[in-house]
Amino acid sequence: MTSACYLTYSCKYCRAPGEPGKVDEVVVGIRPDRFLRDMPSKVERWKDETYGLEIRDHLERFAEEGFSAIPDDERDAWFERFKWWGLYHQRKGQESYFMMRIGTPMGRLTPEQLRTVGEVAREYATGPVENPEFGAAYADFTTRQSIQLHWIKIEDVPDIFAELESVGLSTIQACGDSWRNIVGSPVAGRDSDELIDVWPIVEELHDRFKGNDLYTNLPRKWKVAVTGDRRGAGQGDINDLAFEPAVKEIGVSEPDSEARQTASDGGEEVAGFNVNVGGGLARKEPRLARSIDVFCRPENAAAVAAGLSGLFRDYGDREDRFNARMKFLVDEWGTEKIRSVLQEEYVDYELPTAGEGLREEYDYNAGRSDAPGDYVGIQDQADGQNFVGLSVLVGRMAAADVIELADLAEEYGSEMIGLTQRQNVIVGDIADEDLDAFLDEPLLSDYSPDPHPFMRGSIACTGTEYCSLSIVETKNRMVRYARWLKENVSVPEGVSDFHIHLSGCTASCAQPQIADISLRGMKTRKDGGAVEAFDVGLGGGLGENPRFADWVEMRVPADEIPGYIANLLEVYEAERDGQESFREFVADRDEDELSGLAEPEETSYEDPYLNNTKMTWYPYADEDDMSASPAPTNAKGDPMPTDD
Amino acid sequence: MSTDVHQLDDGAWVSVNDTREVNVSDLWRLAGGEFCACRLTDFLAEGFVEVGVDGGNVEARIAGQCIQCGESGVTGWLTLGRVDPETGAFRPVVPESVHRPA
């Protein structure tokens, strides 16, 4: 049957709004989703039309002509495309302002690059209202070792790009459906105890897969971790593709790429990687990356990565974005099929089976009592110098401090600044004789190498301040929590590193499932009114036996969280077995025991943003009602007329 | 006048004719008892899963949970608002009034 299609929604037969076309086998009146289920999503259509490098030309055109030059009926499409160049339109009430993400592979920057970030933040990342905790301009260091700036105007983008690119930084593919920033240990090559220096490999992957037409347009984001250390600092378990350090004896019976083995007498022990795929945390569907039983030599990492991202490009689900991530393809196919398709269709050498990993040595965010779980503090480099890990509470640093840190690093001869997945920062290459002077620098009283455990372990995502998805206020709240905990709660003996991850929603950008205490944004009713709240999880972490948190307390009002944590730590202190870590303490208890461990409680902590921050145009504005928003604004920040 | 609707940013909001109109994080009161056993579901919208247009109504299925009992899942079709056929203007419903998913 043939009938007129009355829809424009995602209809591939009716490209032009208001111009019905002819649709076969469709009954007029049926809901669009019912017959569009087999069609690519609207985002896929936009990507088909324009995506990748070519977006840059359009961005620069809109920048020159101004925000209002983006046609009203094309804005959603352009905002979706801009992500590929690292620009994310801020939430409702903040129209015309963008978050800009700068991808720094493995979080590594030179002091010069860091200074440029600070200068760009100071000049361009200022909005109509200051943040009460962080001031007018700041940079966010993210859990994927990138940098986010807010309140960016599209008119400033070309100048910002020029400044960033003059020092070798870029926003390319920082968001969108492609290869994202590659994560790993920033101190690779400097770490005194690592299997492989992965920095050259990561540079190769970055160069090959950024701006590469073959991998420009994937079904969804593609997150890669490369780990060569013995700490597990790449956190590969929560990535789409993880290269995990491993050794393998490769003999004549098991050929591999270049057949370099000298194996006539039993084989050659090779340091390389085991390959895992399909990890991720989002949408209440957390998955640990799963082994596909492949060992990969360092020189083959790019070939294997190309094969797996090509497989994802070709077989990932482009019809349903909620089912598009690699983790769902691994669920559907199983690891054996992933391996066989990779072997048969994407790689032209015989893949060796997995080698012996180093997982039992992992201590990064592992909840161990015998090792720190982060890079904070002073640690030895392989060359006899030191790197100094500084705590950056919730990963946000004022622009002036970013610049000062860059200056300090340069003054002390550092060639490497590292951003970690715990939202902290590392300054490398500090000589022994300079160490005391460096540690005495006033800036380090704010960003300490020896912070209080509650300040050290706190992570938070962007939250309702800017993000469309978030349910609750996050960064400022985590700052208030950490301060209250520091002032009011005794740290259990022996605990130096206690991880609290606060995420505003199920997207899990603060990695809530892998923390000692996991907080995930929620709402509840209190005294009859709706208030911001959290689901509380306990005992998550990575390491030898990675484990997601058990969700034990649901919908706890945000002002009762500090009291809950205080009560919980009191129980832990009283009932733990010897030096048992908090994570071990949780692992030893079943669900019922965990649910009854402690009670939420009101305390002296007061939460000034307990009500619905999402209803405001900006939570910290004096006039915060949505109708008071100045957005959209022009290049100078002056309000522009709207149709509303 | 045709109506163009879609959900974006991982289901964070619904666009109607290229204007952001409905966000996650609102609380919806749902009647009908299909989502959970509560007399009236106190539903937190966490993500828009599907959107569509039925006549002048913009509709969606929403992922979320009842903040009274904790039941989570995806609602039936809910009317988010109505588009004026003459002007194209979107008139949202009031989430906290009572709705009955289809």
pLDDT band at A21 (very low <50, low <70, confident <90, very high): very low
pLDDT band at A12 (very low <50, low <70, confident <90, very high): very low
Are A583 and A541 in contact by the 8 Å Cβ rule? The answer is yes
* CA dihedral of residues A209, A215, A220, A221 (deg, nearest 10): 0
pLDDT at B91 over 60: yes
Return the percentage of chain A with pLDDT > 70, whole number.
91
Residue A370's pLDDT is: 87
Residue of A80, A507, A523 lying closest to B27 (CB–CB): A523
Residue type, A280: G
Tell me: ipTM over 0.90. Answer: yes
Residue A5's pLDDT is: 30
How many Å separate Cα A194 from the centre of its chain?
Answer: 24
Residue A153's pLDDT is: 98
The model's pLDDT over A78-103, given as tens digits with 9 standing for 90+, comes to 999 999 999 999 999 999 999 999 99
Task: Give residues with Cβ within 8 angstroms of A216, minimum separation 6.
Answer: A51, A52, A53, A84, A178
B6, A10: Cβ pair inside 8 Å?
Answer: yes
Residue A32's pLDDT is: 40
The model's pLDDT over A97-120, given as tens digits with 9 standing for 90+, comes to 999 999 999 999 999 999 999 999
How many Å separate Cα A482 from the centre of its chain?
Answer: 21
Residue A7's pLDDT is: 31
Give the mean pLDDT of A257-271: 61
A611 reaches B (C-beta below 8 A): no
Q: What's the rounded Cα separation, in Å, for the pair A504 and A609?
A: 14
Q: What are phi and psi of A628, to 5 degrees?
A: -90, 0
Looking at A85-89, A266-270, A291-295, A431-435, which range is the least confident one?
A: A266-270
Give the mean pLDDT of A150-172: 98
Residue A251's pLDDT is: 75
A612, B25: Cβ pair inside 8 Å?
Answer: yes
Q: Which of B1, B15, B18, B75 to mutate to test the interface with A (most CBs of A within 10 A)?
A: B18
Name the pTM for this structure: 0.92
A470 reaches B (C-beta below 8 A): yes
Residue A266's pLDDT is: 65
B44, A471: Cβ pair inside 8 Å?
Answer: yes
Q: How many CA atoms lie within 13 A of B37 on its CB side?
A: 2
Give the mean pLDDT of A436-462: 97
Residue A412's pLDDT is: 98
Q: Which residues of A touch B70 (CB under 8 A)?
A: 554-555
Q: What's the rounded Cα separation, in Å, for the pair A156 and A153?
A: 5
Residue of B9, B13, B52 lying closest to A32 (CB–CB): B52
Residue A259's pLDDT is: 41
Q: What's the rounded Cα separation, in Å, for the pair A623 and A619?
A: 9
The model's pLDDT over A309-347, given as tens digits with 9 standing for 90+, comes to 999 999 999 999 999 999 999 999 999 999 999 999 999
pLDDT band at A38 (very low <50, low <70, confident <90, very high): very low
Are A489 and A454 in contact by the 8 Å Cβ rule? The answer is yes
Ordered alpha helix ranges (H), A465-590: 475-488, 561-575, 582-587
pLDDT band at B55 (very low <50, low <70, confident <90, very high): confident
pLDDT band at A40 (very low <50, low <70, confident <90, very high): low
| pLDDT averaged over every residue in chain A | 91
Residue of B1, B12, B23 lying closest to A18 (CB–CB): B1
B25, A614: Cβ pair inside 8 Å?
Answer: yes
pLDDT at A291 over 50: yes
A554, B3: Cβ pair inside 8 Å?
Answer: no
Q: How many residues are recorded in chain B?
A: 102
CA neighbor of A363 nearest in space, from A546, A212, A505: A546
**DSSP assigned state of A54:** G
Q: Which A residues, 268 through 297, put their C-beta within 8 Å of a C-beta on chain B?
A: 282-284
